[in-house]
Structure formats: C-alpha cells, structure tokens
Chains A and B, each alone.
Chain A
Amino acid sequence: MGHGGLRRLALPGGLLAGILLLALITPWLPLPDPVRQDIAGRLAAPAAAHWLGQDEYGRDVLSRILWGARVSLSVAFAASLLAAVAGTLLGILGGYFRGVVELLTVRVAEVVLCFPPLLLALLVVTLLGPGATTLILSLAILFAPGFARVAYAETLSARALDYVTAQQALGARSGRILIRTLLPNIAPPLIVQFSLTIAAALLLESGLSFLGLGVVPPSPSWGLMIRGARATMEQAPLLLLWPCLALSGVVLVLNLFCDRLRDVLDPRGRTQGRPGFLRRIAALPTPASPASAVPGLLAVEGLTVALPGPAGAPLVRDVGFTLAPGETLAIVGESGSGKTMTALAIMGLLPGELRVVSGRILLTDDDGRARDLLRLPEQALRRLRGNDLAMVFQDPSASLNPLLRVGVQVAESLHAHGATEDVQARVVALLREVGLPDPERAARAYPHELSGGQRQRVMIAAAVANQPRLLLADEPTTALDVTVQAQILALLAALKRAGGAMGMVFVTHNLAVVAEIADRLVVMYAGEVVEEGPVTEVFAAPRHPYTAALMASMPEGEAERLSAIPGAVPQPWAMPAGCRFAPRCDFAIEACRTAPPALVAPAPGRRTRCLRWKELA
C-alpha cells in the first residue's frame, strides 16, 4: 500500500469519520430531546431554534436525524459485523475442508441467497416481532451468505498456494493455518465486502423501519422519519427531504470509500499515460541527424528506455546493435537485463509507463530506405507490425484468444494486411509449414484443444504469415518442455533457411539455446550491452567477465561444483557508479568502480564493455 493509495482514501475516509464522530457525540450535543413532542410547533419550518424544522409531532428534526443516525448506523454495523463473522467462518471452513463441511456451510448459505432479501427479512421479522435486536439478526442472516461466498472463493484459491501447503508440510494444525495464514490473505476482499454490506444494511434497515417492521417508534430512525413524513408530504415536503438526504449521503460516502479501498488493497497498480504515438513522440527529442542509409536490415542506435519523470531510472541504456538480412542475432541476459524491453521497443509495444528517451531504431525497406521506427506515426507502425515486423511471445497460451478457432486467428494476420483471396487455403498451408499434424483439423481447433508446443507453432504461423523481414522471438521456448523446445528451435531454424532474407532477433536467457540457433549474440547486463560478437568466437573466447561467468554457471561441465555468480543484478535505481557488473566481478579493480567503462572493439566484429578485456584473453 503506497502513500498515493492512502491519499486516495483521505476524502471518503475523512467524510466517513466525520459522520461516525457526529453520531457518537450526539448525546453531548446541545440538542432538544428527539422524542419530546411539541404539538404547537407541529410541522414548523426551519428556524433558529430548530435548524431543520419540526416534524408532525413537533419534534426537532435535526436532533432526530442525528439520533436516528446512531440507531441506523449501529444496527447496520452490528448486523454487518455479525454477518461478516458468521459468513467468513462458514466460507473458510467450507473452502478449506471441502466435502461434507462444504455441503453444510456454503451450500446452505447459497439456499438463503435464493430467497428475495426483502421477503426473507419480512419473514424473520414477522416470526420474531419487530425491534432493533430482531432487525440486526435478520439483516445478519441476509448478508452472511455474501460473506460466505467471498470467503469460500478466496479460500479455494488460497489453499492451493504453496505457502499454505508449506504450513501443512511444517506440521501446523488446521486451526493455525486458518487463522495465521489463510485469514490475513483473504481479508482484503472481505473488508471491501464489509463496507458494501454496511451500506446495503443501512438501506434495508430503513426500508424495514419504513414498513413498520424495524425500529419501534418513538425511537428515531431514518426509515421511521420517512414513514412519518410521507403522511404530511404535501404540507411539509422538507421533512421528507432531510432523512432521504442523510440516507443517500451516507450510502454514497460508504460506496466511495469502498471503491477507493478496493483500489488501495489491490496490489496491482494502475497504469496511466498517453496511448501509443503521442506518448512516444512526447518523450523523444528530434533525431540528431536525418536517417541515412545504413547497411543491413536493422540498426538500433543509442536506445535508452526509462520510467517517466525527471529522476526516472533508465532500464535500458544506450543499447545498439545491427542485424543483416538472413542473420539470427540472439540477445542474452538474465531477468532485469533489459532484453525483452529492447525487443518491445523495436515493435513499439513498450508497456504503458515506460518510454524511449533517446535513440533510433532504423529498419531498411525493400527499396533500401531506412525508416526510424521510433519516430514513425502509430498508423504507419501498425502497418509494419505483422507485416514487415512480426513477434512471437513467450507464453503461447496467453497470446492466443481462447474464444476463436486458431485458423481464424492466423487468417486475421493475413486479412489485416490486405489478403482476401484463398485465405483459408493459405492458413492451412501455413499450419502445415509450421509442422502441425493434420493442418485442416488444426485450423478448426480452439487453442485449448492444442498442446503448448502446438500453440507455439500456431503463433509462429501467424507471425510468418506475411513473410516478415524481421522476426522477433521473445523467449519462445521458455514455457515448453525440453523435447518440445528442441522441436520449436528446429522449426525456427528451418523457417529461417526457407525464408532467405528474414532476419531474426532471438531473446533468451539460455546460453545453450543461443549456441544452437544464433549467428551472433549480444549479451546484456543491467540494461547495457556488455559484449557482442559471432557466437562461435564469443563462446570460444569471451571478452567480458560476465559472459565467461554465465557460461561457467551452466550446469553442463564436468566440474563437481557449479560456479555461481555471487550477488544479484542491481536494481535500476541503485546502479553502481562504475561498471555495473563490478560488484559481482572476480576481475574488478579500483578503476572499474569509479567510472563506467566504454564499449571497445577487441577484434573486428566484436565489442566488450570491460576495462580489463586484454587480461581476460
């Protein structure tokens, strides 16, 4: 919960606190007795002695509103509390123990939910007779199933979590697990449900009192006040207004409080920012020099991506590389290295809050003209995506629409770029090309009918549908089993051979996969390129200690003990002043810690960001 969240709660929280305080201190306020009648002042208009006027028995309306708030709020609060405790208990027990307990608790609660609430309340009140206690009891019975449902659903999802299993593995008793582990973790939605229930109970209490089944006169209650005012509506319409205002005001404040509370308790932050091109253009200075012709297919120059704000830490800093037609370049790095962000920046698909601060991404057209993707209008970029530029993502289950047949989804990428003829035949041909058995049937299948590997094949078919000039693959095999990973790598290699001039940027954390698929590699660490070169040369003789350490930590050597890199990747806001790898580097000397090293070329076609590369050789 951040400070921003608390600030959002301040307004409704303050209002709510004010209302509660007013209700609490009412007995000490200099108010007339709310039940003292004054027949002479019957239906009197607001005056200095009676700010809101007098009702049909000449009682002071302001006093009755405030005393009524005490009654209405305490009934609503007590009923909600009772409902929350009982409902949560039923829900948790049902969700945790399942079986017979579930039948006895949650299912019974569901039966209660089937009755129309007002009818049920009427039934209970008729059976037990009116009065505040009956009212609390009947409201609690009405609202408890709601809590039971929420608690049950939350418990069901929480009990499958590893930290609950871990408690069982530790030998904890069920009671301890329920109270110490489950309850705190399912509390947020229950708290929201609680405030919503208070508002609902308030309304229902007033409704029942209005019908004469709730609070017994002459005790003041908002429902009773509305009931009384209704009779004299034509002579004194204001009398109807005051309790209605009080009721709707309190309910609105409660609802606002709930809305904000839900936001604050939800750990997922909200994203903001202007969409697409506007956002990109706002952040970018004009290009340093006009886009000149560059050799190759893709050239990334000085790409820097940062969080917004003047102090926004750069997550990708001054990244540059080139790609020739027909070449496969691997971008390798651990989590936090900025490799995926670099790929997303090329596609113009950076998540909402991130922006490119500087740099150029030049893609060469068919006719040899280079275009800066960062400064292209969104519309032009959209035409490129899926056409010249295509991307395959890590999780094939999350990137296919579960409601559409996969053939339709592959056809979409053809339609989006103008194909109208024999789309169906082309879809089947594509699915055959990516190695799906029985492509005609596969085209009619829904994503859930395919396995993970088959789904990834479909994603690849959609990506290569328009013969892209550049294919970006972001960890396309990470979510797959090794035997299937080998198949997908073989497929990508085969497509590359068949595609001729198609260039591929392959983002991965796995050096061994790089060895199998790439021609050249770029090693990234903490947002920077630290080494670049042809795969064979880099693996034979790494020129950066990070690359060497990464290779050594692969569990495939003969060594008895794995060699680990101590420490962890630094966070973007706590980058070391000098070389970013220095704190974890065995070779670091004082000079490494004072100034960031520049990228140097130890040999043609190779680059390293290390002061001591000569000594490494």
Chain B
Amino acid sequence: MSAAPLLRGEGLTRAFHRRGGLFRRGAPVMALRGVDIAVHGGEAVGVVGESGCGKSTLGRILLRLMPPSAGRVIFEGEDLAALPAARLRALRRRMQMVFQDPYGSLDPRRSVGAQIADGILIHGLAGKAEAGERVTALLHQVGLDPDHARRLPHEFSGGQRQRLAVARALATRPDFIVADEPVSALDVSIQAQVVNLLADLRAELGLALLFISHDLHVVRHLCDRVVVMYLGRVMEEGRASEVFHAPLHPYTRALLAASPSLRRRGNPVAPLAGEVPSIANPPSGCVFRTRCGLAQPACAEAVPPLEPMPGAPGRRLACRRAAELG
C-alpha cells in the first residue's frame, strides 16, 4: 500500500454546538478529534466502536455530507472543501453511501426503480431508456427480481431493502462506498447475505469500502484493515486479522471480550465497568482511562498520540503503555 491513497482524511475534527442561552453558544461537543484515515483504491477499511465514538460522523465527513470543523478530506489529491459546488456534485458520482436503517434510507413514496435510477440520471450517465436497463441489471446484481422495479419500498423486507440501497449506491459506478452499519438492523441470517453481497461486489468491481460497524466480528470478515474508535479518537489501527487475533489496545481487547460468543459457555463476566462517558465531558488525557484496567495517573495528563508500532507495518496504537502491551 505504498501508492497514494484514493481518499485521505487529515486531522478531522467535528464539533457540534448545543443550544446555549440567548446570547451565548452552548459548549461544543467534540464528536471527532484529530482523526487521520486513509483508504486506498479497492481496499476495505472497517471502523469499529460503540455509540458516541464518532464513527458515523467520520463517514459523513469523508463524503462531505457534513463539513469538518477542522482538518481536510482529500479525494485523489483534491481537497473536497476547496472544490466548487458543481465539481463536488460531479465528484459525488464516485463516492456513495449505504445507510444503517433500511426503512429510513429509501423514499417511501417513490418506486424503487426510480430511486435507483436517480444517480444515473442526475449525472447524465445514460438516457431514460438505458437507465431502465441499468436498473434491471443492478437489481439482478444485488440478487433481486428485476420485475420488482416498479414496487414501493414498503413491499420489500429489511434485507431486500438493504440490497436496494446497495443497488442505488452502485448505480453511479462509484470507486468508494461508505457503509454505515449496513447490517446491524438485520437478522443474523440476512446479515450474512448482505455481508457476502458486499464482499462479492468488492471483489467484482474493485470498490474501496469504508465499513462502519459496532461488531468487530463482522468487520473482520469483510475488511482488510480496521480502525478502532472510542469517544471521537482512534485507539488502534491495523490489519483486520492482526487486530482481531492479537488486539493490543485495552479497549480493543475489552470490545472483543465483551462480544458474546457461541463458543463461550456459562456465566457472563463483563470485561469493563461503567459506560462510555458523555461526549460532552470527556475524560482528560486518554479518553479511555476511566474504564481502563491498566490506567495510571500519568494517563490523565496527556492525550496519548497514535503512534506506529515498531515491527508491525500498518499497525498504530494510542496508548502510553504500548511497550508493555505487545
């Protein structure tokens, strides 16, 4: 992975302002703080974390559906913030999104065929008649009956709707797709169908994928690399299989230990006490230290930088005690 990445985020930070009083703004809530991320062409990157870790915000900022408060997003060498509106709209053809809620992401009042055709028509990729053929091909590609193009979204099940959402994202022949928890609203058996579909499409079309999920297990099945986030910061990053089999950061370890497993029997033991602190008032220093079994007084003093692990290419870790963890 030495070539220039397809998409790069540098120092991405996002503050949300809560409603304050009449004359002052509320204290900013930092959903994302100084996150660096790169996605190469054809690569699948998983972003994992619990609610409030900023993973969805990151996805939306990378697609510039939301501007960052600081930092920049560079797609093939071009800073998205510096692009004129028309250029940005044209560039959107190449980067698409699949949302979490298959019930909310499709317009309930328009036929699914028309919604899949939207991207083709907006970017003038084909005429009306040819767009219809493309819709047929796309429905077939995601494993749905092409005759159902005229139906409305409510006539489909959750898994089928998620396939429709994938078809809509594929319609513009993008190079990069952000999938924001695309399977967490689905049943296990259906979840496997959609994960396999994404894996197949990736192999077939050479898509780059940013797969956002709270489930490390699913990410490992689909992704080359994984980024673990907590309270708006990256805790650990590395090849998916390495992070999964030899997690280093105490949070990654806890996350893995907390996922219930078929192979573990008997009395459940919680690996972590307490809950994710409020993002409005995060702990000083290392944000994870309040729940970390290894925390020392020094962890409260400074934010540990995300540093490359010596001897493990591509692996990065934000922990003061990294040396003891390997």
B215 at the interface (CB under 8 A from A): yes
Cross-interface CB contact of A549 among B189, B263, B291, cutoff 8 Å: B189
Which of B11-19, B266-274, B302-310, B315-323 forms contacts with chain A?
B266-274
A536 at the interface (CB under 8 A from B): yes
Can you name 11 A-B pairs with beta carbons within 8 Å? Answer: A162-B105, A168-B65, A171-B123, A173-B89, A181-B107, A334-B188, A481-B50, A481-B51, A486-B272, A512-B259, A555-B218
B290 at the interface (CB under 8 A from A): no
Contact A553 B192 (CB under 8 A): yes
Main secondary structure of the interface of A (DSSP, over half): helix
Q: Which residues of B contact A483 (CB under 8 A)?
A: 50, 254-255, 258, 270-272, 275-276, 291
Contact B199 A169 (CB under 8 A): no
Which of B74-82, B91-99, B204-212 forms contacts with chain A?
B91-99
Contact A169 B65 (CB under 8 A): yes
Q: Which residues of A contact B141 (CB under 8 A)?
A: none
Q: Which residues of B contact A171 (CB under 8 A)?
A: 89-93, 119, 122-123, 172
B10 at the interface (CB under 8 A from A): no
B249 at the interface (CB under 8 A from A): no
Contact A163 B270 (CB under 8 A): no
Interchain nearest-CB distance for A409 vs B (Å): 20
Contact A539 B262 (CB under 8 A): yes
Taken together as a complex, chains A and B put the C-alpha atoms of A489 and B265 apart, in Å, by: 13
Instruction: Find the residue from B65, B104, B264 having the highest chain A CB count within 10 A.
Output: B104
A interface, CB within 8 angstroms of B: 161-163, 165-173, 176, 180-181, 184-185, 334-335, 451-454, 481-487, 489-490, 493, 509-513, 515-517, 535-536, 539, 549-551, 553-556, 560-566, 568-569
The closest CB in chain B to the CB of A515 belongs to: B262
Contact B258 A486 (CB under 8 A): yes
Contact B214 A166 (CB under 8 A): no
Q: Which residues of A contact B273 (CB under 8 A)?
A: 487
Asked whether A556 and B217 contact (CB < 8 A) given A185-B107, A561-B199, the answer is yes
Taken together as a complex, chains A and B put the C-alpha atoms of A601 and B264 apart, in Å, by: 26
B interface, CB within 8 angstroms of A: 50-51, 60, 63, 65, 89-93, 95-97, 99-101, 104-110, 118-119, 122-123, 157-160, 165, 168, 172, 187-193, 195-196, 199, 214-215, 217-218, 220-221, 254-255, 257-273, 275-276, 291
Cross-interface CB contact of B118 among A170, A486, A549, cutoff 8 Å: A170
Q: Which residues of B contact A165 (CB under 8 A)?
A: 60, 65, 97, 99
Q: Which residues of A contact B119 (CB under 8 A)?
A: 170-171
Q: Which residues of A contact B122 (CB under 8 A)?
A: 170-172, 176
Taken together as a complex, chains A and B put the C-alpha atoms of A184 and B111 apart, in Å, by: 13
Taken together as a complex, chains A and B put the C-alpha atoms of A162 and B103 apart, in Å, by: 9
Contact A515 B265 (CB under 8 A): yes
Contact B269 A490 (CB under 8 A): yes
Taken together as a complex, chains A and B put the C-alpha atoms of A163 and B191 apart, in Å, by: 21
Q: Which residues of A contact B187 (CB under 8 A)?
A: 334-335, 509, 569
Q: Which residues of A contact B110 (CB under 8 A)?
A: 180-181, 184
Contact B105 A482 (CB under 8 A): no
Contact B214 A516 (CB under 8 A): no
Could you list 8 further interchain pairs (A-B, Cβ under 8 angstroms) beyond the known A163-B104, A165-B60, A165-B99? A171-B91, A171-B92, A482-B214, A483-B271, A483-B291, A486-B257, A486-B258, A568-B190
Closest A-B pairs by Cβ, 5 of them: A171-B92, A564-B192, A565-B189, A512-B260, A162-B105
Asked whether A564 and B189 contact (CB < 8 A) given A170-B96, A485-B260, A516-B260, the answer is yes
Taken together as a complex, chains A and B put the C-alpha atoms of A567 and B260 apart, in Å, by: 26
Instruction: Find the residue from B95, B191, B199, B220 having the highest chain A CB count within 10 A.
Output: B191
Contact A516 B188 (CB under 8 A): no
Contact B190 A562 (CB under 8 A): no
Cross-interface CB contact of B268 among A454, A486, A566, cutoff 8 Å: A486
The closest CB in chain A to the CB of B278 belongs to: A451
Contact B268 A185 (CB under 8 A): no
Contact A166 B99 (CB under 8 A): yes
Q: Which residues of A contact B104 (CB under 8 A)?
A: 161-163
Contact B262 A551 (CB under 8 A): yes
Interchain nearest-CB distance for A551 vs B (Å): 6
Contact A493 B92 (CB under 8 A): no
Asked whether A563 and B192 contact (CB < 8 A) given A171-B92, A172-B118, the answer is yes
Taken together as a complex, chains A and B put the C-alpha atoms of A454 and B277 apart, in Å, by: 13
